[in-house]
């Protein structure tokens, strides 16, 4: 279970911070006056979640730069004790978290830690319009990085008169390549679905994948199987029970619910033959990108953040836009739309994956090339001028919070 401290989405970001004595944080320092200094990365690096995995990738990218940086693990340190209080002003603070977590960081940390640095927020949202709370957070950052054009467009629409720079920065999955998938020459063909019940199962739509699989094949077809990997099933037991009911009587549909490390998850992906994501909305689609990098073909809804790398390099599933109705409550009341994927088209794609090994391999190669090109690393040039020498204690006190999830 994540220990990340979250704030309510009710009060605007600005109001929350002013009531906690942080009014000066809205006054961004002129970048020309910010001295070079270390990079501070705040991220959910200890979380076994997609945002945790993305944060660990950001840390890996910083390591590849060989620059001074400090890692702050948000779930393990909500009071921001990991950041040295005597850290000199200057440099960059990269808050790889969404506005709810960023508000906690900025309200708990000493104000000088934020006020004297170039601030970058790294956000991902799944629908086309940002929540009010998120919109009020934009002026607190010099830049907002987003993993996809879809999210960047949402931030641009919400930015208003703020001078904040919006930059598309795909998650650098190529910095930590997964094990390569082995093309299958015989045996049972495995389709893989990956979901986290802490996210919205209505948005991830694993039920659609189960129904498409049942349309595509018969219950006694032992040449195929569907594996549904569920993280944190305890978070939405009713929805997970509904998935199991939808698979009742199908021995070729299997559920996995044990918690896996990053490395174990990568091995699971490499052991499959095709990843299926019939999502209704994605800010990026990290499992899709990592599967494609591993050499798996993917079947994916052709809408939202994943289209930056899946369009033209996957089995694209057409969709209709429908009102976003979410029983979990996460997106209900937003009066927005999301995709309703065509399950008949998804079922046809599954049959093509099974029946055309050469076509499957060609799609896999195309997808792998696309992700390698798009997700090679973070834009060091964008902040290089602000990264400079740091005191020796930065290296000594750097927090290594990634080993427990990868080894």
Angle at 53 between CA 47 and CA 56, to 5 degrees: 95
Tell whether pTM > 0.85: yes
Q: What is the DSSP string of 120-188?
A: EEE---SSSS--HHHHHHGGG-SEEEESSHHHHHHHHHHHTT---EEEE----GGGSPPPPPPPP-SS-
Cα dist from 95 to 57, 70, 92, 122, 219, whole Å: 14, 12, 10, 6, 47
Provide the CATH number for the domain around residue 220. Answer: 3.40.50.2000
In a 3-state reduction of DSSP, which class is residue 274?
Answer: strand
179 domain residue, yes or no:
no
295 domain residue, yes or no:
yes
Neighbouring CB atoms inside 10 A of 268's CB total 17
pLDDT the model gives residue 9: 41
**Residue 21 confidence (pLDDT) above 60:** no
Q: Is 250 found in the same domain as 105?
A: no
pLDDT the model gives residue 19: 60
pLDDT tens-digit profile of 113-162? 788 899 999 999 999 999 998 999 999 999 999 999 999 999 999 999 88
Confidence of residue 173 (pLDDT cuts 50, 70, 90): very high
C-alpha–C-alpha distance, residues 136 and 169, integer Å: 22
pLDDT the model gives residue 401: 42
pLDDT the model gives residue 331: 86
Q: What is the mean pLDDT of residues 29-52?
A: 89
Q: Is 383 found in the same domain as 343?
A: no
pLDDT the model gives residue 236: 94
pLDDT tens-digit profile of 312-357? 999 999 999 999 999 988 887 778 999 999 999 999 999 999 999 9
**Residue 33 confidence (pLDDT) above 80:** yes
> Which of 70, 41, 79, 39 has the alpha carbon at shortest distance from 57?
41
pLDDT the model gives residue 10: 46
pLDDT tens-digit profile of 90-127? 899 999 999 988 888 887 777 777 888 999 999 999 99
pLDDT the model gives residue 106: 82
Q: Is 365 found in the same domain as 386?
A: no
Q: Is 234 found in the same domain as 163?
A: no
**Residue 381 confidence (pLDDT) above 70:** yes
pLDDT tens-digit profile of 174-232? 988 888 887 777 789 999 999 999 989 999 999 999 999 999 999 999 999 999 999 99
Provide the CATH number for the domain around residue 145. Answer: 3.40.50.11930
pLDDT the model gives residue 28: 85
28 domain residue, yes or no:
yes
Q: Is 337 found in the same domain as 193?
A: yes
**Residue 291 confidence (pLDDT) above 60:** yes
pLDDT tens-digit profile of 235-262? 999 999 999 999 999 999 999 998 888 8
pLDDT the model gives residue 4: 37
Neighbouring CB atoms inside 10 A of 253's CB total 22
Q: Is 193 found in the same domain as 90?
A: no
Tokens representing residue 338 in the block:
């999301």
Domain count, the chain: 2
User: Which of 67 and 126 is assigned the larger pLDDT?
Assistant: 126
Q: Is 274 found in the same domain as 137?
A: no
- Identify the bridge partners of residue 48 per DSSP, sorted by sequence position: none
Q: Show the domain range for 324.
A: 189-374
Q: Is residue 57 within 8 Å of 406, Cβ to Cβ? A: no
């Amino acid at each position: 279970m994540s220990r990340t401290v979250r704030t309510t989405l009710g009060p605007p970001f600005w109001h929350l911070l002013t009531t906690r004595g942080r009014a000066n944080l809205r006054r961004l320092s002129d970048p020309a006056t910010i001295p070079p200094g270390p990079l501070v990365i705040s991220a959910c690096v200890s979380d076994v979640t997609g945002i945790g995995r993305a944060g660990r990738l950001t840390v890996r990218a910083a390591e590849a730069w060989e620059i001074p940086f400090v890692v702050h693990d948000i779930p393990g340190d909500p009071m921001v004790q990991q950041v040295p209080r005597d850290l000199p002003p200057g440099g960059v603070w990269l808050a790889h978290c969404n506005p709810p977590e960023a508000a906690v960081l900025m309200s708990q940390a000493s104000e000088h830690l934020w006020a004297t640095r170039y601030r970058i927020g790294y956000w991902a949202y799944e629908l086309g319009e940002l929540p009010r709370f998120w919109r009020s957070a934009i002026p607190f950052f010099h830049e907002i990085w987003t993993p996809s054009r879809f999210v960047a467009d949402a931030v641009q629409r919400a930015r208003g008169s703020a001078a904040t720079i919006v930059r598309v920065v795909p998650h650098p999955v190529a910095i930590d390549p997964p094990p390569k998938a082995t093309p299958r020459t015989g045996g049972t063909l495995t389709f893989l679905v990956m979901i986290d019940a802490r996210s919205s199962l209505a948005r991830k739509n694993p039920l659609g994948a189960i129904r498409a699989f049942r349309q595509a094949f018969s219950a006694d077809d032992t040449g195929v199987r569907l594996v549904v990997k569920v993280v944190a099933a305890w978070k939405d037991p009713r929805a997970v029970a509904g998935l199991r009911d939808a698979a009742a009587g199908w021995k070729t549909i299997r559920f996995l619910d044990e918690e896996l490390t990053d490395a174990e998850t990568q091995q699971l992906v490499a052991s499959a033959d095709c990843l299926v994501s019939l999502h209704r909305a994605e800010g990026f689609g990290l499992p899709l990108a990592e599967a494609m990098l591993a050499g798996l073909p993917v079947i994916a809804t052709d809408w939202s953040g994943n289209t930056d790398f899946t369009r033209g390099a996957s089995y694209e599933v057409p969709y209709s836009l429908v009102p976003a109705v979410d029983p979990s409550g996460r997106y209900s009341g937003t009066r927005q739309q999301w995709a309703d994927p065509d399950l008949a088209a998804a079922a046809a794609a599954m049959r093509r994956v099974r029946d055309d090994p050469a076509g499957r391999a060609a799609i896999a190669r195309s997808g792998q090339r696309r992700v390698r090109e798009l997700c090679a690393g973070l834009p060091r040039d964008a902040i290089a001028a602000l990264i400079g020498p740091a005191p020796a204690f930065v290296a000594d006190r750097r927090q290594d919070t990634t080993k427990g999830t990868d080894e």
